[in-house]
């Protein structure tokens, strides 16, 4: 294979293939890999905290039945920044850096959901996830601050297979209903330099997403970074929301446009 073909396939001489910063951290040498894993799992906490959290993930996280629910409720108080009374956590929920995650009382995190709050090794920037009381996060949904700040209001209801992720901020109000497979807050990759692989150019820092109270977001809708959705708005299924949505507006389409307003 010629050098030109190697470059075209994404392989760089002496450096290997192009990767994101996160990939490089997790695929470093043996000592670097362990340090990256510890920071991914428990942030800046020490080895003892990591060992205890590993035991939790091995023994308690996948445990079925009401016994598993009760043990997770008690054990997570040791790891989360805040764990409200009556918290219900299903089987095999993934927590990463739980010390930066706060969950209000009587909230439900269903089976196989994932909540991850990363720390940026380069900038030292920390992240946080704050979930209000009576909230619901459905099966296989992902809440990811990488790094950034995510706030989910009281009684927010996120269905299954949703992804809410940011490198800046996402604020979602009270009693917001988000249908399955919704995608909120995706940032933009920098593509300014044609000579540098896109994966290695990083992400553009956006303005974040703000969603008001009592909003309904339909299935498979995408809400892009920088968008504000007013309270009472309805986002149609499969819509791409690239611009701000006024209060009580009903929008649909790709890109989403106002159809009418709720009376």
Convert the pLDDT of each residue in 147-205 to its tens digit. Answer: 899 999 999 999 999 999 998 999 999 999 999 999 999 778 888 888 888 888 888 77
pLDDT top residue among 260 and 44 = 260
pLDDT in the model for residue 14: 43
> Is 62 within a domain?
yes
Confidence tier at 260 by pLDDT (50, 70, 90): very high
Share of the chain above pLDDT 90, in %: 71
Classify residue 95: in a domain, yes or no: yes
CA separation for the pair 76, 192 (Å, rounded):
43
Does residue 149 lie within any of the structural domains?
A: yes
**Domain at 230, CATH number:** 2.160.10.10
Q: Number of structural domains, the chain?
A: 1
pLDDT category at 257 given cuts 50, 70, 90 is: very high
What does the alpha-carbon distance between residue 61 and residue 183 come to, in Å, rounded to a whole number? 26
- Partnered with residue 240 across adjacent β-strands are 222
Average pLDDT, the chain: 90
| Catalytic position from the list 134, 140, 189, 238 | 189
Is 224 contained in some domain? yes
pLDDT > 90? residue 99: yes
pLDDT in tens, 37-52: 898 899 989 999 999 9
| 6-16: pLDDT as tens digits | 333 444 434 67
What confidence score (pLDDT) does residue 238 get?
A: 98
The answer to whether 189 is a known catalytic residue is: yes
Confidence band for 31, pLDDT divided at 50, 70 and 90: low
Instruction: Tell me, yes or no, whether 2 lies in a domain.
Output: no
DSSP 222-256: EE-TT-EE-TT-EE-TT-EE-S-B-TTEEEETTTT
Q: Is residue 9 part of a domain?
A: no
Residue 254 lies in a domain: yes
233 lies in which domain range?
A: 19-261
Give the pLDDT of residue 252: 98
Q: Collapse the DSSP code of 30 into the 3-class scheme (helix H, G, I; strand E, B; otherwise coil) and give the result.
A: helix
- Buried (b) or exposed (e) across 115-149, using 16+ Cβ within 10 A? bbbbbeeeeeebbbbbbbbbbbbbbbbbbbbbbbb
In a domain, 11, yes or no: no
Lowest-confidence pick of 136-140, 165-169, 179-183, 248-252: 165-169
């Amino acid at each position: 294979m010629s050098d030109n073909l190697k470059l075209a396939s994404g392989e760089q001489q002496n450096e290997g293939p192009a990767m994101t910063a996160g990939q490089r951290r997790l695929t470093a040498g043996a000592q670097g890999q362990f340090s990256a894993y510890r920071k991914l799992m428990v942030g800046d906490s020490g080895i003892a905290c990591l060992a205890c959290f590993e035991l939790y993930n091995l023994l308690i996280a996948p445990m079925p039945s009401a016994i598993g629910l009760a043990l997770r409720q008690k054990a997570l108080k040791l790891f989360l920044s805040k764990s409200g009374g009556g918290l219900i956590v299903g089987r095999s929920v993934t927590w990463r850096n739980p010390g930066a995650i706060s969950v209000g009382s009587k909230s439900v995190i269903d089976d196989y959901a994932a909540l991850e709050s990363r720390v940026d090794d380069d900038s030292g920037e920390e992240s946080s996830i704050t979930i209000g009381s009576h909230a619901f996060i459905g099966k296989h949904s992902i809440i990811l601050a990488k790094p950034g700040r995510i706030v989910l209001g009281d009684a927010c209801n996120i269905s299954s297979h949703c992804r809410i992720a940011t490198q800046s901020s996402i604020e979602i109000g009270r009693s917001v209903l988000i249908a399955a497979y919704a995608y909120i807050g995706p940032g933009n990759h920098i593509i300014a330099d044609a000579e540098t692989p896109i994966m290695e150019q990083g992400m553009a820092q956006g303005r974040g997403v703000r969603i008001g109270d009592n909003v309904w977001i339909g299935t498979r809708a995408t809400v892009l970074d920088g968008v504000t959705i007013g309270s009472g708005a309805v986002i149609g299924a499969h819509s791409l929301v690239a611009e701000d949505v006024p209060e009580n507006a009903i929008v649909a389409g790709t890109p989403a446009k106002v159809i009418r307003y709720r009376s």
